[in-house]
Structure 1
Amino acid sequence: MAVAQIKGFLAGVSVLLVVLSGGNARIHRLTLKNETRFAVDLNNFGFYANGTLDVNLSALWIKETVVNYTLYPVGFSLSRSRVNGVLSYTAEETDTCPLIMQKSTNNEHDEPLILFLIDVTNLSVNVKTRGTQDNILIANVKEEASKVQRKARDDAASNNGNEKSKETEIKGEEKKPEDETEKKNIPAMEVKKEKGKEYLLDNDSKLTLALGKGNGFYNFSFRMVFGLKAQGLYSLKFHYCQNRMPGFKLPYSFTAEVTEKNPEGYLSAAEIPLSRLYICMAGVFFTAAMIWVYTLMKHRYSVFKIHWLMAALAFTKSTSLVFHSINYHFINTEGHPIEGWAVMYYITHLLKGALLFITLALIGTGWAFVKYILSDKEKKIFMIVIPLQVLANVAYIIIESTEEGSSEYYLWKEILFLVDLICCGAILFPVVWSIRHLQEASSTDGKAAMNLEKLKLFRHYYVMIVCYIYFTRIIAILLKITMPFQWQWCYEFLVEVSTLIFFVLTGYKFRPASNNPYLQLPMDEDDVEMDEVVTESGALEGISKVKKTSNGRERQKEPTL
């Protein structure tokens, strides 16, 4: 498949996929029907002080077979990570249900944990806390619900009396229907105002919220305002503990609307600097691309097609970062991305990923530098890597447009990780084949010095690719989970800087210059005079220098010591 056809194919597929896909948001709405998982990870978010979490659970349906809510509770857990990225109380590998409060020997040093236990029998939600708390819970507490209702009825009665008195005082004036509607709505407005009462949570708070019921479905809502001591990375999960028992797969359904917000916007603490980071890195990549184009124009007689492909990769990377920055900006301000900007970002992201692996594979095969024809094995690599890259970008787009609590989210996340590793491993094969070919050529033909120079260059390139893959896929992730929650954006910074360094080193190694050993390809063997190959190393003692004369005969010289 020609390179132009590949580009056209990728562009068409990217447009189709991105137009059909949605965008992610920080205002979440998740609907699950006939779900059987015992735990649903709704979201992870880093809250600063005065950050807010709004949860509205509606259309909750569970089977009435769950009767013992002490042994098999149903509800939410809101837990803060104990060691940065490692969540402490909601680990799925534990045998006990996370909703069952464990006794603590020292509550003062425990991480904040808040449980919302749903009891459909008593139409209540029991709130239990543990650990250092200075959060404020805003919700409708069950004990005060009757008082609110009584107050609403009293207000309604008094308002009706006022209406009658007004009718007797104001004569000859017709009462408008809008006024009646407005007066009838007064009690409902007052009830809503009374509904949001604030409760300061401490180490061992216990509250009972009202659980609404209508048409066989349950609902309740709450708002959490995080204090200075409790700020951190939180995980919100829904648990159906009876499904943890072997053989139990009881279905349930619900709709959850979750809105998370920090004082600066809708982005998590680790994501707030990303918009500025991406726009700055876009400028750096654009500058590097312009310098590369200037180098190509300066050495135009040594330029190959792959040099321009490398320039296209740098410009595409810069453009992708610009749209990525814009996408995060609108998510921070609006709570969701703007569709047009999200589409542009997904298109450039797909093109950038495809161009990256195509360029690395072409450089590894020596295409355009050393040869203009790819072998059958090298063509198979492209036939494998390119579709896998399309699949990887499809998985990325689906992950970005899918709520974290859906089952498809984790499936596509695993697919993305696996496909990305396969692609990274596949592009190493052309480099290994080129190294093996150069090793064989250096011992068979008379151009040993030139082949060894190119062999050395390929080995450096191989080490660069391996280091880049290991750093961006493994080391950077390990650094991320060891950083404080507000500094986890440094993971993206390290990835972008390592990508920039990799691009710069690759461009320097294969730059179009007369002194580049990769481009020193002789046109005629009779015009070549070989350089000295051997050194003064003791391991090479006795090896002779070989020079080729104009008639092609070899001339032996004295052994080099």
Structure 2
Amino acid sequence: MAVPHINCCVAVILLLALLSGCNARIHKLSLKNETRFAVDLNNFGFFANGTLNVTLSSLWLNEQRINYTHSVGFSLSRSRVNGVLSYTAEETEACPLTTKPTNDEPLILFLIDIRNLRVNVQATGIQDNILIAKGKSEENKEKKVKEIPAARPQESADALNPKAAQMNLPGDGGKDKPGGPKAEEKPNPVGDATKVEETTFLLNTTTQPILALDKVNGFYKFNFLMVVGPKAEGLYSLKFHYCQNRIPGTKLHYSLTVEVIEKNPGSYLSAAEIPLSRLYICMAGVFFTAAMVWVYTLMKHRYSVFKIHWLMAALAFTKSTSLVFHSINYHFINTEGHPIEGWAVMYYITHLLKGALLFITLALIGTGWAFVKYILSDKEKKIFIIVIPLQVLANVAYIIIESTEEGSSEYYLWKEILFLVDLICCGAILFPVVWSIRHLQEASSTDGKAAMNLEKLKLFRHFYIMIVCYIYFTRIIAILLKITMPFQWQWCYEFLVEVSTLIFFVLTGYKFRPASNNPYLQLPQDEEDVEMDEVVTESGALEGISKVKKTSNGRDRQKEPAL
């Protein structure tokens, strides 16, 4: 069992290296020599009076080869559910910055005009958002919102002030002047905005604000702050588009650095993530209670307990501990905007151990190890050699996804790896159960213990159905429910997954409980039943082992040749 320990150590080392640059909900993405025509920056669910602060601190374009008929800029689309986000790069062949919506979908476009050094803002659909940014021309003065609508709560008045928005951006409080900092220096968008006249726009289909675009040492930059109105709540998707790269055979390089800070009133978490901290701590208490009940059962039936029973107890306690650290991790993201590195490391370590223990325990139960045999066949050992490294890889992929910005190119690569590896692991643990069912079917028709083998066969079939239902629900059905739920109720996906995991643990523990009346643990009643079941012989557990046969008087013993 040295391989799992080595893999876990490698995963922990990689985990520590990855977390050093993790900023979680305060997103900062830097891309160099990028060629993608669309970059998904982030998805976030906003309640009323939530704020979105976007700072494009450096954008470099190849101006010698750029075609000004193809737009460059950002799109901000809104949806009520996760599965119907508007204007994804994969859905449309045309550039979303130049294509007019056909169904009045809520959409805000920020079109970067590098020739005139301005950003044209266009809004379609029902809008109730307020935009605060540095205006470009005198024409914006006519569109300036002098007063906040009376229906808006007082809290929104504080949100309209960038200083009161508490963006927690690093800077020098406004000492930098326009054109002063070098391209590689990090500007302070809040500080810069205090020295110029900011304009407040009420976005609608008739208002088309024009924002200022600064150019410093060949790099373009601008920033804006948007306050979400009561009628504009929803799941927002922010994307960057470089539409010239949509032309087949065109791969123009560009570089950008963008910082995105999203907040709901009193929280850095998305609308669907706000209840997760309380959910995880409550489920941790439920799993801990179930683990204590299981330990009490083991102590009560200590003479029927096997090593696999204690491994199941370790899995339940590890699951509870993982949920505790997960809750703490979300608590700090909620209040600080980023996780505390120490707590995040503890969560990822326990999450890795929980995943490894889960698949190892299920595979051992499926093979019947410690219940009816103590040796695994070569075929069964190969399952562990495959599943354990793949499970470590899946957890490493999960850690990378959690600590990587969504807009980075490797994010979707690791997301596909996680999905594929997880499906392989789920399918692999079914093989030992299928083999055991096949062996029990053959043994029930060849030996004299048909009744007992049929009871075990029935139990294994139930276990197989339980695993299949658990995999289908947590990997397919729950995800389908997630993408069809309203954005503020998508936390129910995590609730369903945790509840289904709890039910699966409880049913597995009940089926394989250490009790004298459990058909899986029944001892032979006749003297002839001291021979091991044929299922063990067929799995290779008795290779090279001598079998002892009792005589009729029970005193003399005759040794038979080795099998």
Scaled by the length of structure 1, what TM-score is found?
0.83
Corresponding residue number in structure 1 for 2:146: none
Q: Deviations over 1:501-551 (max 9, x none)?
A: 0000000000000000000132754379xxxxxxxxxxxxxxxxxxxxx99
CA shift, 1:194, in A, is: 4.1
The within-5 A match list for 1:321-336 is 321-336=323-338
Q: Does 1:267 align with 2:269?
A: yes
Distance 2:237 2:214 in 1: 25
1:219 counterpart SS class: strand
CA shift, 1:185, in A, is: 9.7
Distance 1:96 1:76 in 2: 15
Q: CA 1:146–1:361 in structure 2 vs 1: closer, same or farther (change >3 Å)?
A: closer
Name whichever of 357-366 and 54-63 sits farther off.
54-63
Partner amino acid, structure 2, of 1:143: S
Distance 2:365 2:375 in 1: 13
Distance 1:303 1:24 in 2: 46
Q: Does 1:15 align with 2:12?
A: yes
Q: CA 1:551–1:241 in structure 2 vs 1: closer, same or farther (change >3 Å)?
A: farther
Gaps of 5+ in 1: 148-181, 529-549, 553-561
The within-5 A match list for 1:494-509 is 494-509=496-511
Corresponding residue number in structure 2 for 1:281: 283
Distance 2:192 2:493 in 1: 48
Q: Deviations over 1:218-267 (max 9, x none)?
A: 10100110001111001000000010110000000000000000003100
Native 8 Å contact 2:122 2:205 kept in 1: no
Corresponding residue number in structure 2 for 1:44: 43
Native 8 Å contact 1:14 1:346 kept in 2: no
Identical residues among aligned pairs (%): 81
Distance 2:354 2:468 in 1: 20
Partner amino acid, structure 1, of 2:74: F
Q: CA 1:298–1:146 in structure 2 vs 1: closer, same or farther (change >3 Å)?
A: closer
Corresponding residue number in structure 2 for 1:424: 426
CA shift, 1:475, in A, is: 0.2
Corresponding residue number in structure 1 for 2:53: 54
Corresponding residue number in structure 2 for 1:255: 257
Native 8 Å contact 1:370 1:521 kept in 2: no
Corresponding residue number in structure 2 for 1:33: 32
Native 8 Å contact 2:134 2:193 kept in 1: no
Q: Deviations over 1:366-416 (max 9, x none)?
A: 000010000000000000000000100110111111000000000000000
Q: CA 1:146–1:238 in structure 2 vs 1: closer, same or farther (change >3 Å)?
A: closer
Native 8 Å contact 1:145 1:210 kept in 2: no
Q: Deviations over 1:192-225 (max 9, x none)?
A: 2544321111123211111100111110100110
Corresponding residue number in structure 1 for 2:134: 140
Partner amino acid, structure 2, of 1:28: H
Q: Does 1:362 align with 2:364?
A: yes
The within-5 A match list for 1:96-107 is 96-102=94-100, 104=102
Distance 1:118 1:185 in 2: 23
1:206 counterpart SS class: coil
Q: CA 1:499–1:260 in structure 2 vs 1: closer, same or farther (change >3 Å)?
A: same
Partner amino acid, structure 1, of 2:37: F
1:229 counterpart SS class: helix
The within-5 A match list for 1:197-236 is 197-236=199-238
Corresponding residue number in structure 1 for 2:375: 373
Native 8 Å contact 1:24 1:400 kept in 2: no
2:231 counterpart SS class: coil
CA shift, 1:91, in A, is: 4.5
Q: CA 1:10–1:67 in structure 2 vs 1: closer, same or farther (change >3 Å)?
A: closer
Corresponding residue number in structure 2 for 1:351: 353
Partner amino acid, structure 2, of 1:302: S
Q: CA 1:459–1:103 in structure 2 vs 1: closer, same or farther (change >3 Å)?
A: closer
CA shift, 1:64, in A, is: 1.2
Aligned CA-pair RMSD = 2.4
Question: What is the aligned counterpart of 2:117 among 112, 119, 123?
Answer: 123
Native 8 Å contact 1:41 1:237 kept in 2: yes
Corresponding residue number in structure 2 for 1:547: none
CA shift, 1:86, in A, is: 1.6
Q: CA 1:190–1:463 in structure 2 vs 1: closer, same or farther (change >3 Å)?
A: closer
Corresponding residue number in structure 2 for 1:90: 88
Q: CA 1:206–1:430 in structure 2 vs 1: closer, same or farther (change >3 Å)?
A: same
Native 8 Å contact 1:138 1:224 kept in 2: yes
Partner amino acid, structure 2, of 1:439: Q
Native 8 Å contact 2:367 2:436 kept in 1: yes
Native 8 Å contact 1:63 1:251 kept in 2: yes
Native 8 Å contact 1:289 1:315 kept in 2: yes
Partner amino acid, structure 1, of 2:499: V
Corresponding residue number in structure 2 for 1:317: 319
Native 8 Å contact 1:142 1:210 kept in 2: yes
Distance 1:415 1:191 in 2: 43
CA shift, 1:99, in A, is: 0.7
Corresponding residue number in structure 2 for 1:546: none
Name whichever of 330-339 and 201-210 sits farther off.
201-210
Distance 1:422 1:258 in 2: 36
Q: CA 1:136–1:193 in structure 2 vs 1: closer, same or farther (change >3 Å)?
A: farther
The within-5 A match list for 1:152-191 is none
Q: Deviations over 1:56-82 (max 9, x none)?
A: 00220011145543x410000000126
Q: CA 1:487–1:393 in structure 2 vs 1: closer, same or farther (change >3 Å)?
A: same
Native 8 Å contact 2:60 2:254 kept in 1: yes
Corresponding residue number in structure 2 for 1:405: 407
Q: Deviations over 1:405-428 (max 9, x none)?
A: 000000000000000000000000
Distance 2:453 2:176 in 1: 88
Q: Deviations over 1:127-173 (max 9, x none)?
A: 000000110000011014999xxxxxxxxxxxxxxxxxxxxxxxxxx
Distance 2:513 2:503 in 1: 15
Partner amino acid, structure 2, of 1:140: K
Distance 1:273 1:229 in 2: 22
Name whichever of 111-120 and 233-242 sits farther off.
111-120
CA shift, 1:9, in A, is: 3.0
2:137 counterpart SS class: helix
Native 8 Å contact 2:80 2:234 kept in 1: no
Native 8 Å contact 1:28 1:258 kept in 2: yes
CA shift, 1:12, in A, is: 2.2
Name whichever of 497-506 and 515-524 sits farther off.
515-524
1:379 counterpart SS class: helix
Native 8 Å contact 1:112 1:133 kept in 2: yes
Native 8 Å contact 2:81 2:235 kept in 1: no
1:275 counterpart SS class: helix
Distance 2:177 2:214 in 1: 22
Native 8 Å contact 1:79 1:90 kept in 2: no
1:117 counterpart SS class: strand
Partner amino acid, structure 1, of 2:27: H
Distance 2:475 2:243 in 1: 35
Distance 1:282 1:268 in 2: 22
Distance 1:349 1:291 in 2: 22
CA shift, 1:292, in A, is: 0.2
Q: CA 1:195–1:30 in structure 2 vs 1: closer, same or farther (change >3 Å)?
A: farther
